Amino acid sequence: MNFESNDFRKMNSDAVYAYVKQQVVLGKRVYLFFDEIQRIGAWEDAINALRVDLDCDIYVTGSNAYLLSSE
């Protein structure tokens, strides 16, 4: 998911979680790629929930330095 796309730009963390859950085949390992996810408020909550609820590998990328910053 590229959060620079208008398809995903206006999502919140709950919507990201729900969208991904609708797309995956339960019981299968999935690979999730999120680009510019720092645009989504509380994105960490969605990523952590997906990590717990799915058999998945998660890749998060972004161009801003504050992506993984605590500030």
Domain residue ranges in the chain: 13-68
Q: Does residue 13 register a pLDDT over 60?
A: yes
First-last CA distance in the chain: 25
pLDDT tens-digit readout, 31-71: 999 999 999 999 999 999 999 999 999 999 987 655 555 55
pLDDT of residue 65: 55
pLDDT of residue 9: 83
Contact 35, 29 (CB under 8 A): no
Q: 15 vs 40, 68, 70, CA distance in Å?
A: 10, 21, 23
pLDDT of residue 69: 56
Backbone torsions φ then ψ of 56, nearest 5 degrees = -150, 160
